Every structure is written in C-alpha cells, then in structure tokens.
Structure 1
Amino acid sequence: MTSTPGEWDIVTSVGITALGVAAARAIETHREDPLVSDPYAASFVRAANPPNPMPTTPAEAAVLADHQGLWVLNSAYMAVRTRFFDEYFLRATGEGVRQVVILAAGLDSRAFRLAWPSGTTIYEVDQPKVLGFKQDVLDEQGATARGTRRTIPVDLRDNWSAALLGAGFVPGEPTAWLAEGLLPYLPPDAEQLLLDTIDKYSGPGSWLSVEQPVDMARMLDDAQVGDVATQWGVDIRSLIHDDDRPDAKDTLRSLGWEISDESAADVARRYGRNLDDELDRMFAVSRYVIGRRSQ
C-alpha cells in the first residue's frame, strides 16, 4: 500500500484522521469521568466543517453511532491513548527534559493543555496546511501555550530534520519525542529512517514513545475499518502500510535504547476502564512503547 502523494489539508487524506481523533477527544472531554480534558478539540471539529458530520459530545456520538457504536469505541480508545502519552511527557519533563518533539502533531493541543515546566520548548511537526488550520483555530480561541511552542510545517516524508534544526532544535540535548498514531502511515524504510534520525539527534537522558501497531493485516480486514471509511469519508485502508517490518521496540533496542512497553488494553484497565468484547478488539491492535537513552 502507498500513501496518498502530495500535501493534504484537515479534511482530506491523513488530515481527516487527525480531525477524527480531535472529535474523539472532544467526546471524552464531555464525559462525566473524563480521562483527558481538551478544551480546543470541539472547536477544531466545528471550524473544519467536515463533509461527514463528526460528533463532539457523547449525546451526538449516540445519535451518529452505527449499530456497532463506532464513535463511542473510537473515543474510548483515543481517551486512553491520549492520557498515556500525556503522562509520558509529564514523566520525561519531570526528570529534567526540556526539549519536546511531537511528530505528526495534527490537532494535538498538549502545548496548551499540559503543565510544562519552565524552560520547556515544544516542537510540533506536521503538514503545512494542517498546522495552518490548527493555528487559525487556536488564535480564534485566544489560546496561549504553556511552554515555548514552535511549529515545523514540513512533510515527514521530506527532510523534516533539517527543518527542525532550522527552528532551533538543539541536537544532543535530552529530548522527549512522540510518534502517536504515526507508524502505520509510514512504509518500513521511512519508519527505519525516522527512528535512526531520532537516535542521531537524541542526547543522553532522551525519551521516545511510539504507538506500535499490532497485526495490521488483521486490523485492515476488520469490518469496522470500513465503517470508519464511511463515517470519516476516507478509506483508512488506502493510507495504512501493512508491510512486514521489525517492531519499533526491537529497532530501538538495537540502537541502544532501554525499552518498556504495555498493551493498550492493559493501560485501559489500569485507568479503570472496563473493556467489553468490542473494546477489547479495538485495544488489541496497539502497544505503547517507551524508550530511554542513557548514553
């Protein structure tokens, strides 16, 4: 499978998947017991005016849900994923890291939501049109970043590391990197290059967390993937690479990183979320990996 070429905006190709994730965070934000609270997520969805309606509250999700309750399932997964990576960043910065890079940042609002320690710089890397849309909405909302935020408008298939360096990134400094929801959209050689580049620019004390897909071929055969295509207006299967490749954790170990990983399902249970059969199937497709570089 090959990704759609060219640049996409927020309502096409991979861009609309970022919008779907924002909708999921908005739904979670309006729950009585939210794992995350994102005050900007609903504004992103409303401003984008997607071709197919996207809910921003549990009530709207219930109205739009098909017989499998896809939006409810999606928001449950994204809530757990978001909370996990929120905590990852708080752990890394709690140990002194002050340089953060969010790859394929999409509509991530962590620069505005999280309590970053003084002196933290957050770099957000993504497509120019996606970051442009995001900035327009944040400006309309009067949002103020809680750290120094720098956006890097570049395609990750291009020379993104040069753009990152040009924005002031300091190679060799302890850095917390995040690749959330990114790896399935990269072919194996691009994933290897991404991890090699991160390793190259990471100093001792650096952290990296990735969402590691599990059994992509089985996921792509799942009927719910087709439902996503219908409800989001994009064929997810045309965007995702299911080529054989080493697990990211094995690649990172080979580069000298210390690795821990946890299944998404175990993380959900740790957060007190009970998984029925449908949720268990959804959470089974990912593991969350954290790498640390000691030297």
Structure 2
Amino acid sequence: MAEQQLLPDGVQRTAVGVARVRAAESRREDRLFEDPYAKAFVRAATGSRSQAEYAAPMERSAAGAALAARIVLRTRFFDDYLLQATAAGCRQVVLLAAGLDSRAFRLAWPEGTRVFELDLPPVIAFKERVLREEGAVPACERSVLAADLREDWPQALKNAGFDPTARTAWLIEGLLVYLEAEQADTMLSTVTELSAAGSRLSLSEGRTSPRPISDHGADERFRALTDLWKGGLGEPAADWLARHDWQVTVHGKDELEQAYGRPVPDTLSEGFLVAERGRPG
C-alpha cells in the first residue's frame, strides 16, 4: 500500500476532490469517461482503500451534487475538445493548473502530440510520485512543469520546448474562478500572446458567478471550497475572447444534455466554450 502523501490545504487540495468525482464516475456502468488513476490519487492522499472514499463525496448537499455532476460533464467535454483539436492539427497541448489530470495517459492522442502540464510544485511532486507507483506510461510526449501561474510561467514553458509559432490546444479547466479579475485577464492575455493562428482554447463559459450556489444547502466541505472562489474574469469569457481575436463557439446546457445523456443541474447551468485564434488576413 502506498504511503499517505497529503497535499497542502487550499486550492491544491481541491484537486483531490475532483479526483474523487472522476473515480466515482469511472465505476459507473454508464460512465462518460474512465480515469484509471483517479482512485490511486485519492488513495495516496487519504491513506484509505475504502470504496466510500471513491464515491462522489460532494453529493451530501444539492449544491455539492450539482458541482460533482458538472465536473463529470466538463471532464468528458474537455476530453472531446482536446482530441478534436489535436486531430485538426494542434500537436501542442497545454494544460494550465493541470492538477491531477491524467489525460496524457488515458486519451488516444494522434502521433506527434506533446502535452505540457503546469501546476504548483507540491501538486506536481505528489502527482508524479503516484504515477510512478502505478507504473503509468503516457500515450504521448509529456512535459511536466512546476510553475506558479502568477509568475513567469511562459518562459518556463518555452524553456521546456513549447513553440509559440505552432498551433496549440489550450485547456483552462476550473481555474479562472480561483483568480481575481485582473489575474484572469492577465492569464488570458498571456495565452493569447502565445497562441499562433489556428490555436484553440477551451474553458467554462463564465456567464454567471457560481458563488451564490453555496447558500443552497451546501455542506461544510462545499462551503470550504466556495470560500476559495474569487470570481474570475467578472464578464463572460466569450465576450473577452471575441474582443481579442478569438472566434468563439458556446456549448450550452441543452446541447450538453443531448450529447452526453446526463442532466445539467440548473444551479450550474453555464456551458463551455471552444475558441479558435483568428487567422491572419
């Protein structure tokens, strides 16, 4: 049994909560995805092998259940987005605040794909220990960068071999809500500067603030999570991206329900967007 390897408190610990949700989804017969490493991350973080640890823990409250359902939907949506983007020619993939994401190992990447994963040093150290213990082998070229996204992460990315002149598929999953508006604006501006024509980006729609749902029957664990939310951009991400030469497509509640056969909770009804960097001329 792997030694318990606790992550620090705060935003970094939310990665374990997401892993719990992904582990629970992976056990369902009608699962929308299968993450074979999610259970190992939870086990390493908690020191428990109890199946109860892998059940969707947020479902103690209506708000928590809604958030867990949203994590499942966004995981599958972003899986599909990344495979579509790489099939269309984006051979660089950048996962910002990758957390305990295991897509480099579990998705069927086109030949020549390189995935860059960025997160804080404690998250990276924990993740890499668990993956080594599991004997995980990536299905693509993989570069892992310990970086603070509030600092000079673009230079670290370039030093690792990232080519800003090549098309890139960016993923910002569940991150902007933890940033102040100015920080979120800076991050998207930086991504835009690093994106060659034809690059793609996907993230949550950002149409409404998620903070009010914490007042609707949320348990203590859920409130601890929402206390970390800073509000993000303060405007719909689609509007920001359109002003900065991105062509945006929004995938809303009805489309997601039809595509995946799962209800989208009304308390978290915003969709996801995919944007393509404008081409010259």
- What TM-score, normalized to structure 2? 0.88
Match of residue 3 from structure 2:
none
Contact 1:24 1:71 in 2 (8 A): no
Residue 246 (structure 1) shift: 2.7
Contact 2:114 2:142 in 1 (8 A): yes
SS in 2 for 1:43: helix
2:230 matches 1:231: no
Contact 1:99 1:174 in 2 (8 A): yes
2:94 matches 1:101: yes
What is the distance in 1 between the residues matched to 2:64 and 2:147? Answer: 30
Match of residue 194 from structure 1:
187
SS in 2 for 1:119: coil
Match of residue 128 from structure 1:
121
Match of residue 170 from structure 1:
163
2:127 matches 1:113: no
> Any stretches of 5+ residues in structure 1 without a counterpart?
1-8
Match of 1:43 among 34, 40, 44: 40
Deviations 1:148-197 (A, max 9, x none): 11011011111111111111111121000000101101111111111111
What is the distance in 1 between the residues matched to 2:241 and 2:199? Answer: 12
- Change in CA separation of 1:142 and 1:218 when aligned onto 2, cut-off 3 Å: closer
What is the distance in 1 between the residues matched to 2:146 and 2:232? Answer: 28
What is the distance in 2 between the residues matched to 1:197 and 1:217? Answer: 25
- Change in CA separation of 1:265 and 1:46 when aligned onto 2, cut-off 3 Å: farther
2:277 matches 1:293: yes
Residue 73 (structure 1) shift: 4.2
Percent sequence identity is 40
2:243 matches 1:259: no
What is the distance in 2 between the residues matched to 1:249 and 1:81? Answer: 17
Contact 2:96 2:172 in 1 (8 A): yes
2:6 matches 1:13: no
SS in 1 for 2:184: helix
Residue 215 (structure 1) shift: 2.5
What is the distance in 1 between the residues matched to 2:258 and 2:128? Answer: 35
Residue 231 (structure 1) shift: 3.1
2:199 matches 1:206: yes
What is the distance in 2 between the residues matched to 1:272 and 1:260? Answer: 21
Match of residue 6 from structure 1:
none
- What TM-score, normalized to structure 1? 0.84
Residue 65 (structure 1) shift: 5.0
SS in 1 for 2:32: coil
Paired amino acid for 1:45: V
What is the distance in 2 between the residues matched to 1:243 and 1:181? Answer: 10
Match of residue 5 from structure 1:
none
Contact 1:29 1:36 in 2 (8 A): yes
Paired amino acid for 2:11: V
Residue 41 (structure 1) shift: 0.2
Paired amino acid for 1:280: D
